[in-house]
Structure 1
């Protein structure tokens, strides 16, 4: 199933020469990897030969060697995809950031391959979706195939309400290079590869980091906040004394990346054969990924030999093995674990440092991307003094339950596809065969069943108004037509909070937008109509847009007549009619710890704050 990274790395690889031999070491990215920065990265996903894949896609590049600062707002530990995404996000806000990566080179190993729609939406906001597009296979569907010759279940590849394919396939080594190139535009972000974290000490006003440079010199950096993306064996997590409960899954599999492959189907094909479960996953550049579960007693160093790889593929898949172009063959095994806490004071865990899961469904990297999108805007608000530091406590409150649900889903999906007993597999297949002839069951079996985030805790105010079902969920990426241009919702909201009136007259929205909370937070305000704009509506200074797509309108129709508070991560935080919106603004301002002017009443009992919000407010805020 789509590989999302596991607890342990490869034991044996067919990658040929070492990373150090194939990429220059000693100079920064701008020199040893000048091909990347001169704009010669491939712009299409045209088929490549095996040698081209090895040289242009998988070959690592030497990471930057920027000068280490003495002080910084944010230190990112780990330069994998989640760490690089964080650096792009923080750079887009102009936050003073250093990224520290212990390795000298970017990744060359076949790891994550699936990008979800929400991750693509985040990348689009950073201007990275367009340069990435030519390196993707999309949209990607999934078919689970019975050994009896019929399809058990599956879901098609579709474009979702986030505006992107439900699943896209990429090559992680190239993905990391594109993320690196994106960071180049941000002067506030420094990157230092070949630098190891030795010690972390939390202070009242920051975190002291002792790091060792490649020349063996130890230096200290003081950061206001630390974001740890240092993998499954996270040094930061262990230093904090956090637990990483879960279990090791006894299901090692060989991941084989192939070039010049004849099967160019955009569907993942999972052969649910108890004798040997096999997954076939589309890959860019005319390639394919085959994941083969190992049987008891098989050794990694033996199965990854070229002849054995061909033998296994020929025996257990419909593919001929005469002329396989093998780019990589690596054995991984997996665990399911979630840290008991995602943060301690000023230090936060993201990605594999916070959670690991089997690759079933391709959720690992995408869960890390949700971590990044959830946390960064809160860090920015705290650093810029717009809110109290206490909003950072909501990172754990909002993300932990959904992470647990995603990990459980990945385990269940793997259990379903990888049954190793023929009697149990036949019972499974018989049940699904019957279910597919019943229309309601058939629809259920063809839907994407991965849990979508729905937040009930944290920085949300749930009420009983008509738009209550939108609160806690991500708002669709609406396509909106204005007087002079067509825009998307994300282009209009930018990196800020937004007040969006759904069929709300312009003057009403303009009035509530004057509230000091929205002035402090720099919220953008605009009105969206799901039909013709009434001629009596005088918008004043509030832009008015019309949603024309019927599918998109269905996603927001419950919000008609309501004003939505939309967070920078596009999740709806609260909603109310215009008449009640000032009270909601006061409550939300207190929830975030926005600094109220002295002449405004701030007592919770006067503002009728929900008890859950009052509980958050009772927590002692951290010092700024």
Structure 2
């Protein structure tokens, strides 16, 4: 039997599900398959960082995730009973200044429910066994759990099927691999520890490290480095108790093991993320040590970058070449993550005397420097990720003279940088800018600065909509009160919070991409560059 799908996603983990949701809410219902069972509960990834919470908020899932997880605010480092440093993860410039500790299966459950609400059906126990790409699509061979074979035609094949990706291997996409020769065990246990449950706790010892952090239900996740690259396949309570007793001052009487696993830290990076009509995302494209908690988060951000672009292409509103920007924007990011995680893993697990002394002194120094803490917090929360070098973004910004109401220290996000949240008002009351930008599509935000005349504001709107050419919404933010006559899309910024967050000092434009990065900014009311942006995107009305 042969069937046709515009998009086939292989892998229903967090990466594949975020992509499926993002496509579905833009009118493209993908087919998604997974070789596993629907009741499988994978629990390795437990950290959702600030940037991913913002993404989940855009999908309407952040609050539900927070209610199911444990919010963490601090990362504590110890050597024995001595505290080396405390890193404040709330220093990130985000509406979600925290790191959420939540089992991966809980994250997947939320995403599955949202995908199903949007009309996406996940086909479990179904694997890809072969594929042949052509100029206009890909023919794939599927194997179902009951032994049935199926041939499927798809316009675009997405590999979100993990580090051992069949999509990547059958497409002939090569990857660079390295073995860090660091073994780890991890598991969830019950134990009575007098530790604050709003933070990570990391203990260093001459023989290795033990990291513990709170889980839902009163449990603790233990991550411990093994002395070699041969950790036990299925760690038991005795394994965890031994490492806790040897490396920490904590009570080693752990009990009620809920789940355990082990792994050897390895890293890989595909040499490309796009091969014709085949695209890779998540662990299929890049995998690395879980130290730092960036893996699942980076994969979901891959999907968030790809989703809106693929939807435009599939619906005929952009040329296929737009998907080249997925490779151009994301590959440098994931390479930097792999490199940084490799270095962090080696530093964190180093047992040589010189390495231990250097680590101890560095942590003590970082703990005392607020600017370093803030930068580390933003890096940890993935807020330093940017696309400033992308060919898709540009700006015409001249840093005009500050006004009496201006915060001269704020220069606003540049083209290619992440948007910032702020509160403005409509006739119903205060509203977060991130919620105004939640509707799928691009958003053109016109900051009116000192212009408060309602006739002028109304005159700007038709030109703004014409420049947007049906690609999204237009919002006007004025520093004055709302016009007496109701006007759609106009918001008041009476405290100048939004204007200052965006570095605005005179009437200006910010064009926000669907993934919430700045596509264009200009400090004049000139709509021609907005049209230029969409032409560069290859977008059609």
- TM-score scaled by length of structure 1: 0.77
Deviations 1:374-422 (A, max 9, x none): 0101111112222222111110111111111122222222233222112
Residue matched to 2:521: 575
* Structure-to-structure mapping, 1:120-139, within 5 angstroms: 120-139=53-72
- What's 1:591 paired with? 536
1:184 to 97, 113, 116: 116
Name the CA distance, whole Å, in 2 between partners of 1:507 and 1:554. Answer: 23
- Structure 1 match to 2:476: 527
| Aligned partner of 1:498 among 422, 428, 443 | 443
Shift of 1:519: 2.5
Between the aligned partners of 1:430 and 1:161, the Cα distance in structure 2 is 27
Aligned to 1:16: none
Secondary structure at 2:175's aligned position in 1? coil
The answer to whether 1:477 aligns with 2:477 is no
- Determine whether 1:203 maps to 2:152: no
**Hey, what's the Cα distance between the residues in 2 that align with 1:535 and 1:129?**
30
**1:243 and 2:193 correspond:** no
Distance 2:317 2:487 in 1: 27
Question: What are the Cα deviations for residues 213-258 of structure 1, in whole angstroms up to 9, with x where unaligned?
Answer: 1221211111121221010011111112112113111111000212
Deviation at residue 356 of structure 1 after TM alignment: 0.7
Distance in 1 (alpha carbons) for counterparts of 2:238 and 2:377: 39
After superposition, the C-alpha distances for 1:442-486 in whole angstroms (9 at most, x for unaligned) are 656864444621111142124443478521011013322112233
Go from structure 1 to structure 2 and tell me whether the alpha carbon gap of 1:323 and 1:566 turns closer, same or farther (over 3 Å shift): closer
Tell me how far apart the structure 1 counterparts of residues 274 and 397 of structure 2 sit (CA, whole Å): 32
Compute the displacement of 1:549 (Å). 8.3
Given that residues 509 and 563 in structure 1 are in contact (C-alpha distance below 8 angstroms), is that contact kept between their aligned partners in structure 2? Answer: no
For residues 548-589 of structure 1, what are the alpha-carbon distances to aligned partners after superposition, in whole Å with 9 as ceiling and x for unaligned? Answer: 585x6653125753101101111100112444322x023212
Quote the residue 2:402 is aligned against: none
Aligned ranges for residues 358-507 of structure 1 at < 5 Å? 358-433=289-364, 439=369, 443=373, 447-450=377-380, 452-455=384-387, 456-466=389-399, 469-493=413-437, 494-504=439-449, 505=451, 506-507=457-458
Which secondary structure does the structure 1 equivalent of 2:331 belong to?
A: helix
CA contact (8 A) 2:445 2:511 kept: yes
What are the Cα deviations for residues 8-27 of structure 1, in whole angstroms up to 9, with x where unaligned?
xxxxxxxxxxxxxxxxxxxx
Work out the CA distance in 2 between the residues paired with 1:105 and 1:541.
44
1:284 aligned onto 2:216: yes
Query: Counterpart in 2 of 1:100?
Result: 33
1:556-567 → structure 2 map (5 Å cutoff): 556-558=502-504, 560-567=506-513
The question of 1:295 aligning with 2:241 is answered no
Shift of 1:331: 1.0
Unaligned runs of 5+ in 1: 1-67, 597-624
SS in 1 for 2:540: coil
Q: Which residue of 2 aligns with 1:320?
A: 251
- Which string of whole-angstrom CA distances, capped at 9 and with x for unpartnered residues, describes residues 491-527 of structure 1? 3221111100123542464143132x51231x21112
C-alpha distance in structure 1 between counterparts of 2:187 and 2:162, whole Å: 22
Aligned partner of 2:405 in structure 1 is none
Counterpart in the other structure of 1:155: 87
CA distance in 2, matches of 1:139, 1:480: 28
Q: Residues 124 and 299 from structure 1, CA distance in 2 versus in 1: closer, same or farther, beyond 3 angstroms?
A: closer
Alignment partners' CA distance in 2, 1:358 and 1:218: 36
Contact kept, 8 Å, 1:261 with 1:287, in 2: the verdict is no
Give the root-mean-square deviation of aligned CA atoms: 2.7
Match of 1:216 in 2: 147
1:79 paired to 2:12 = yes
Secondary structure of residue in 2 paired with 1:334: strand
How many angstroms does 1:432 deviate by? Answer: 4.6
**In structure 1, what is the Cα distance between the partners aligned to 2:499 and 2:78?**
36
C-alpha contact (below 8 Å) 1:469/1:558 kept by paired residues:
no
Which one has the bigger strand percentage? 2
Q: Which residue of 1 aligns with 2:202?
A: 270
In structure 2, C-alpha distance between the alignment counterparts of 1:146 and 1:558, rounded to whole Å: 47
**Distance (Å, rounded) in 2 between the aligned partners of 1:440 and 1:488:** 28
State the distance in 1 between where 2:324 and 2:17 align. Answer: 23
Contact 1:200–1:209 (CA under 8 A) maintained in structure 2:
yes
Aligned length: 519
Q: Residues 388, 547 of structure 1: CA spacing in aligned structure 2 closer, same or farther, 3 A cutoff?
A: farther
- Distance in 1 of aligned mates of 2:229 and 2:338: 27
Distance of 1:120 and 1:236 partners within structure 2: 28
Structure 1 109/436 Cα, relative in aligned 2: closer, same or farther at 3 Å? Answer: closer
